[in-house]
Chain A
Amino acid sequence: MIRIERRLEQPRYLQLVVPLGSVVVAFAVMAIVLAATHHPPGHVFARLFSSAFGSRRALDSTLVSATPLAFTGLCAAVAFRMNLFNIGGEGQLYIGAIIGSAVAIALGQTSQTLTVVLMVLAGAAGGALFALIPGVLRAFFSTYEIITSLMLNYVAALVLDYLIFDSQSFWRDLSTPDARVFPQGKTLPNSATWPTLHVSLVFPLGLLVAAAIALVVHVLYTRTRFGFEVRVIGDSPRAAAYAGMRTRRTILLVMALSGAIAGVGGASQDGDFRHVLDPRGLTQAGYGYAGIVIAALARYNPFAVCLVAFVLGGEILIRHRVLLRRHPAEAAA
């Protein structure tokens, strides 16, 4: 008789073999479906791959779609590491985009450096403050942050819609009769366009900021007292209380950090890609929810988040370009 028992010790190689095996199985299943519908699997796979990773142009587009995912992935990873389930990356990104674009519009045409720096800071502040709502509720009233942060995503989406479609707000373009009939946001001044880095590929500034944040988060979480507290609280809140750690303060800080990262992602949407506050585009993309998946796949490791964001960015591109025959990156750019 065969009995399946749990291994007491996992061999190291399994950590690699299991995920790779899963990918192989996934492709095999896909191949069966393709073959059954008379599409040569080899050809389809080659096309899928080339459309996201096969050329310099494809890779540039992948970097574009990876950028917001890196932010929301980091947003989730930072909080999840402390078992603080901030599901609100989506809404925090919207608020970052709203505040970031407000700063850009308010500043008008001026120094690019100043505008970009202020947009990053404003986005971070907006996201942080918005994340502090579930943060405060959790820290002082033991409310589940999962529920509150999730519900606030809808609030943020409604605010976003309201600003452009249902009001004559500061963000809305009312300069032409056309714009009055077909609501749209004010185009941001040129100085609010974020620069890019060309090193054989085109790196959006946002992606570089996200990478820098990943590095800072890594150091913060592994080498500092704050990070130590986060790890202890995440593992055992009782042990943290016993050791005299200020759990409430840490919850607030982590929520603020998490929200700030998503908020910068929102500002990056304004400055890197859309150059306008774009409710439809932002709410349809679902970056915040994708970030949760990315954080989980990356096992909350900030560097792995960047890597997974890149791969999933490619996947999103494939989905839109090949499978749905749409061109979201171009439309946004």
Chain B
Amino acid sequence: MSTPTPAVSLRGITKRFPGVVANDHVDFDAAVGEVHALLGENGAGKSTLSSILTGLYRPDEGTMAVYGERVEFRSPREALEAGICMVHQHFRLVPTFTVAENVLLGDHRAEGRGLFVHPREVEQRVAELGVRYGLDVDPRARIWQLSLGEQQRVEILKALHREARVLVLDEPTAVLTPQEAEGLFATVRRMADEGRTIIFISHKLNEVTGVADTVTVLREGRTVATAPVAETTPRSLASLMVGREIEGARRVARTDEIGPVVLEVDGLRVRGDRGNEAVRGVSFSVASGEIVAVAGVAGNGQRELAEAIGGMRAFDAGSVVAAGHRLRGGNAREAIHAGIAHVPEDRLHTGVAANLSVASNVVLKSYRHRQSRRGPLLRLGAIRERAAALMERYDVRGAGPHVPARQLSGGNLQKVVLGREFSDTPAVLVAASPTRGLDVSASEAVHRYLREGAASGMGILLIGEDLDEILALSDRVLVMSGGAVVGELDPGTATREELGLLMAGAGA
């Protein structure tokens, strides 16, 4: 039996950056018409490999072949011409252009280069492609009007329009609701059935087992396994990825008693950035030692809710009472004094001042405290020591206190943020998507710290979209849709489907 020529074949790919070997003799084959998952933790070399595949980087060693033909890409353009197309995690779309215009813009051939374009024809073609692949989006809509899920469809349409034979999807579900993700998987299957090859980059195990035919696991820049998905389990993949047995986000039965109420939110109304009413009369309470999750699809008011409680956003009506302090709202300092800690959604731009040192970021809030200063002067030595102690305690690796925060990996950065927020023994912790973009080990650590926090008596409000995380960690789940709490579920008995339906506003 002769093996058919693979769509993409990488042999011994090595790429070195100063201080690290990002890819170390990686072998990778994707057959024609298969969905091939590339699984690995952050920093395992997935991004570097896909950058090599799409012509962004050139490998230091190794060879590449596309449909059996030796290739050496000197630019992304050459990869595109070979039929390899990447759907980036952060979309490359022009917000003020229409869908059809963006599709045209993404196509280096024919019309895109001529003097005249025929928008009607492109719109027609885009609409046809949309129907064929279940990529429902209005070709005349402008990008800024679209949800992230719809924007992703535009990216895929761009690839299909230019007749890509190999599509690389980089963490495609990061911005999607469970329902949207299902839709994406259906599209992916349809594209594969037509003979296109899909390389699906992910660190989410259930996605990989759900959609892929074959999986290649990368760890520390090396290929550790390639296997048909049917022969793997999420558990076996997880240990391959991490290199050890992991416990996973398993639900832990609570034994300790829940204490008095530490956060009371009543009839809260908050405006969004565009003046729209983002939170419409939300009421709930969180007790000491309790983890209450707020589940919802992004854009349904959870971010505004978190920011209002954290003092970063004023509210129109209602009240927030934390540990006996009634907040006037819109004042982060007041919230901090009331004992509210806040792990913001956007840790790199809100949670830290990225260009300042880790030490500075450790004292981002406590620089005002007496122990941080002597008279008018800051005690820089003491601050550095505190930072070093925190980095030790929260296992922040690979950097010293003097290093700019932006140089930390997402996981290490989040540990710094969490450590800082925990250090002032807050009564309440608002954690917005605390593990977004983190790999398995880092997520595990974050979950452990959140559990420890609750065990020590904090009331934790966990806001996010990751249903597995919510179901595993929380004591109660509030579901937000359209700015209101539309349901409360017991995570012990609720299923992902129930949650997903409620989040999509389809609940009873």
Chain A proximity of B89: nearest CB distance (Å): 21
Interface residue? B364 (CB, 8 A): yes
Chain A residue numbers with a CB within 8 Å of B350 are 236, 238-239, 242
Interface residue? B376 (CB, 8 A): yes
Q: How far is the CA of A243 from the CA of B366 in the complex (A)?
A: 9
**Interchain CB contact under 8 A, A238 and B349:** yes
**Interchain CB contact under 8 A, B332 and A242:** yes
Chain A residue, CB-CB nearest to B366: A243
**Interchain CB contact under 8 A, B364 and A239:** yes
Q: How far is the CA of A244 from the CA of B350 in the complex (A)?
A: 12
Chain A residue numbers with a CB within 8 Å of B331 are 244
Interface residue? A170 (CB, 8 A): no
Interface residue? B105 (CB, 8 A): no
Chain B residue numbers with a CB within 8 Å of A244 are 311, 331-336, 365
Render A166-204 as a binary contact track against B, CB cut-off 8 A, 1 for contact. Answer: 000000000000000000000000000000000000000
Render A1-43 as a binary contact track against B, CB cut-off 8 A, 1 for contact. Answer: 1010000110000000000000000000000000000000000
Chain B residue numbers with a CB within 8 Å of A245 are 333
**Interchain CB contact under 8 A, A235 and B378:** no
Render B356-380 as a binary contact track against A, CB cut-off 8 A, 1 for contact. Answer: 1000100111011000010011101
Choose among A219, A235, A240, A241 the residue that contacts B355 (Cβ–Cβ < 8 A): A235
Residue pairs across A and B with CB atoms within 8 Å: the count is: 73
Choose among A219, A232, A238, A246 the residue that contacts B356 (Cβ–Cβ < 8 A): A232
B-side interface residues, number (CB < 8 Å): 34
Interface residue? A224 (CB, 8 A): yes
**Interchain CB contact under 8 A, A232 and B364:** yes
Choose among B18, B360, B376, B377 the residue that contacts A232 (Cβ–Cβ < 8 A): B360
Render A222-249 as a binary contact track against B, CB cut-off 8 A, 1 for contact. Answer: 0111001001100110111111111000
Chain A residue, CB-CB nearest to B361: A239
Q: How far is the CA of A231 from the CA of B359 in the complex (A)?
A: 13
**Interchain CB contact under 8 A, A228 and B74:** no
Q: How far is the CA of A3 from the CA of B17 in the complex (A)?
A: 17
Chain A residue numbers with a CB within 8 Å of B289 are none
Q: How far is the CA of A232 from the CA of B344 in the complex (A)?
A: 17
Q: How far is the CA of A1 from the CA of B73 in the complex (A)?
A: 12
Q: How far is the CA of A142 from the CA of B360 in the complex (A)?
A: 27
Q: How far is the CA of A239 from the CA of B405 in the complex (A)?
A: 12
Chain B residue, CB-CB nearest to A246: B333
**Interchain CB contact under 8 A, B365 and A243:** yes
Q: How far is the CA of A239 from the CA of B360 in the complex (A)?
A: 12
Q: How far is the CA of A224 from the CA of B365 in the complex (A)?
A: 14
Interface residue? B137 (CB, 8 A): no
Chain B residue numbers with a CB within 8 Å of A224 are 376-378
Chain B proximity of A237: nearest CB distance (Å): 10
Chain B proximity of A203: nearest CB distance (Å): 29
**Interchain CB contact under 8 A, A231 and B311:** no
Chain A proximity of B305: nearest CB distance (Å): 16
Q: B137-181: which residues lie under 8 A (CB-CB) from chain A? A: none
Q: How far is the CA of A243 from the CA of B333 in the complex (A)?
A: 7
Chain A proximity of B345: nearest CB distance (Å): 11
Render B173-209 as a binary contact track against A, CB cut-off 8 A, 1 for contact. Answer: 0000000000000000000000000000000000000
Q: A124-181: which residues lie under 8 A (CB-CB) from chain B? A: none
**Interchain CB contact under 8 A, B367 and A8:** no
Chain B proximity of A147: nearest CB distance (Å): 25
**Interchain CB contact under 8 A, B74 and A1:** yes
**Interchain CB contact under 8 A, B351 and A242:** yes
**Interchain CB contact under 8 A, B354 and A236:** yes
Chain B residue, CB-CB nearest to A240: B353
Chain A residue numbers with a CB within 8 Å of B351 are 239, 242
Chain A residue numbers with a CB within 8 Å of B18 are 8-9
Choose among B334, B335, B353, B365 the residue that contacts A236 (Cβ–Cβ < 8 A): B353
Chain A proximity of B385: nearest CB distance (Å): 16
Chain A residue numbers with a CB within 8 Å of B335 are 244
Chain B residue, CB-CB nearest to A235: B353
Choose among A3, A235, A240 the residue that contacts B74 (Cβ–Cβ < 8 A): A3
Render B286-323 as a binary contact track against A, CB cut-off 8 A, 1 for contact. Answer: 00000000000000000000000011100000000000
Q: How far is the CA of A51 from the CA of B311 in the complex (A)?
A: 61
Chain A proximity of B374: nearest CB distance (Å): 10
Q: How far is the CA of A240 from the CA of B352 in the complex (A)?
A: 9
Chain A proximity of B361: nearest CB distance (Å): 8
Q: B12-31: which residues lie under 8 A (CB-CB) from chain A? A: 17-18
Q: How far is the CA of A91 from the CA of B26 in the complex (A)?
A: 63
**Interchain CB contact under 8 A, B349 and A239:** yes
Interface residue? B342 (CB, 8 A): yes
Chain B proximity of A232: nearest CB distance (Å): 5
Choose among A8, A232, A246 the residue that contacts B353 (Cβ–Cβ < 8 A): A232
Chain A residue numbers with a CB within 8 Å of B349 are 236, 238-239
Q: B364-421: which residues lie under 8 A (CB-CB) from chain A? A: 364-365, 367-368, 373, 376-378, 380
Known: A1-B74, A3-B74, A244-B311. A239 touches B332 (CB 8 A): no
Chain A proximity of B219: nearest CB distance (Å): 23
Chain A residue, CB-CB nearest to B74: A1
Q: How far is the CA of A238 from the CA of B349 in the complex (A)?
A: 7
Chain A residue, CB-CB nearest to B420: A243
Q: A244-279: which residues lie under 8 A (CB-CB) from chain B? A: 244-246
Q: A269-317: which residues lie under 8 A (CB-CB) from chain B? A: none
Chain B residue numbers with a CB within 8 Å of A231 are 353, 356, 360
8 pairs from A and B in contact (CB 8 Å cutoff): A1-B74, A8-B18, A232-B364, A235-B354, A238-B346, A238-B350, A240-B353, A242-B364
A242-B312, A244-B311 are known; give 9 further A-B pairs, CB within 8 A: A219-B377, A223-B377, A223-B380, A224-B376, A228-B363, A228-B378, A235-B354, A239-B350, A242-B342
Interface pairs A-B: 8 shortest CB-CB: A244-B333, A244-B332, A235-B353, A239-B353, A236-B353, A243-B364, A238-B350, A232-B353
Q: Which residues of chain B have a CB within 8 Å of any CB of chain A? A: 17-18, 74, 310-312, 331-336, 342, 344, 346, 349-356, 360, 363-365, 367-368, 373, 376-378, 380
Q: Which residues of chain A have a CB within 8 Å of any CB of chain B? A: 1, 3, 8-9, 219, 223-225, 228, 231-232, 235-236, 238-246
